[in-house]
């Protein structure tokens, strides 16, 4: 295992999995400008093939995933008096969210406790969202007079539908993990003590897969929100051409014919 040195996050590489942990547990992993800077530094390292990562697992340290923006952060742009509360979104959050969207590998979020505000937004970026039974999701923005941000207004209606998205945003009520699963916001729910191990197991399973193809699947799924049917058919054609030229495709077909498990290399 190798690890990078940060203060507000932890980044570890093991078994082709990059494990990224929001690491300010005494503040429930509230997102500060420092944390954002460290995340900006970490994501290119994760995407760098030299580090061997073929899946990203994002979680939180301690008893929560993230409480959202750190309102006591001296750099955060919060405080008394009117101000441009959206400036930090444009400068820090949006580039980070685009990097997460464009990762060339699967992204799993393991929600080990509260995921509120922008913390919920980060949780929703997972291709697979896993949650502990005690976890909950909260669109906390309206509680401080702000609108949902960090991609929430994009993701929520697509994940749970218009009516439920409106309810979450307007009411600002907690959504428990098991109800989030019923609504389609969460893929899997585990007992609290089982979540870390199950998340790693799933991440390692994806990391052992045909990574380039999985990256193409991610890209196609994101594009379906904006493409016409004809455009999506063309994207499938282009993506399939690229997938068919990978070594993993040859290995997959060979393994199928030989009736053995495929040994994918991510190439």
**Consecutive H or E run containing 12:** strand 9-14
Yes or no: say if 65 and 112 are a contact pair by the CB < 8 Å rule.
Answer: yes
Q: CA 258 → CA 208, 231, 245, 251, 255, distances in Å?
A: 19, 36, 20, 10, 5
φ/ψ bin of 107: left (φ > 0), alpha (ψ from -120 to 50), beta (otherwise): beta
Which distant-in-sequence residues (6+ apart) come within 8 Å of 74 by Cβ? none
Q: CA 219 → CA 54, 168, 254, distances in Å?
A: 15, 27, 26
Write down how long the chain is. 267
- Active-site annotation holds for 94: yes
Q: CA 153 → CA 24, 40, 118, 168, 197, distances in Å?
A: 26, 23, 11, 11, 31
d(C-alpha 219, C-alpha 221), whole Å: 6
Q: How many CB atoms lie within 10 A of CB 18?
A: 28
Q: CB-based burial of residue 169 (10 Å sphere; 0-12 exposed, 13-18 middle, 19+ buried)? A: middle
- Identify which of 221, 203, 219, 216 has the alpha carbon closest to the alpha carbon of residue 246: 216
Considering the candidates 92, 127, 149, 248, report the single residue annotated as catalytic.
Answer: 149
List residues with catalytic annotation.
94, 149
């Amino acid at each position: 295992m190798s690890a990078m040195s940060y203060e507000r996050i932890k980044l570890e590489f093991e078994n082709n999995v990059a494990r990224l942990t929001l690491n300010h547990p005494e503040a429930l992993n509230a997102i500060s400008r420092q944390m954002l800077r460290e995340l900006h530094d970490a994501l290119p390292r994760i995407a760098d093939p030299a580090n061997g990562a073929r899946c990203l697992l994002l979680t939180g340290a301690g008893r929560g995933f993230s409480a959202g923006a750190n309102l006591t952060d001296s750099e955060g742009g919060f405080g008394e008096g009117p101000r441009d509360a959206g400036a930090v979104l444009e400068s820090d959050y949006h580039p980070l969210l685009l990097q997460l969207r464009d990762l060339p590998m699967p992204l799993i979020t393991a929600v080990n406790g509260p995921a509120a505000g922008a913390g919920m937004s980060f949780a929703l970026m997972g291709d697979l969202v896993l949650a502990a039974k005690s976890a909950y999701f909260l669109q906390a923005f309206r509680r401080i007079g702000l609108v949902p941000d960090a991609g929430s207004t994009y993701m929520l209606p697509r994940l749970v539908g218009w009516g439920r998205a409106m309810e979450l945003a307007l009411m600002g009520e907690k959504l428990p993990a098991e109800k989030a699963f019923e609504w389609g916001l969460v893929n899997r729910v585990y007992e609290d003590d089982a979540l870390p191990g199950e998340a790693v197991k799933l991440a390692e399973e994806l990391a052992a897969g045909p990574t380039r193809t999985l990256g193409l699947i991610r890209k196609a799924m994101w594009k379906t929100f904006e493409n016409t049917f004809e455009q999506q058919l063309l994207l499938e054609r282009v993506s399939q051409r690229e997938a068919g030229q990978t070594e993993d495709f040859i290995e997959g077909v060979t393994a199928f014919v030989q009736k053995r498990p495929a040994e994918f290399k991510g190439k």
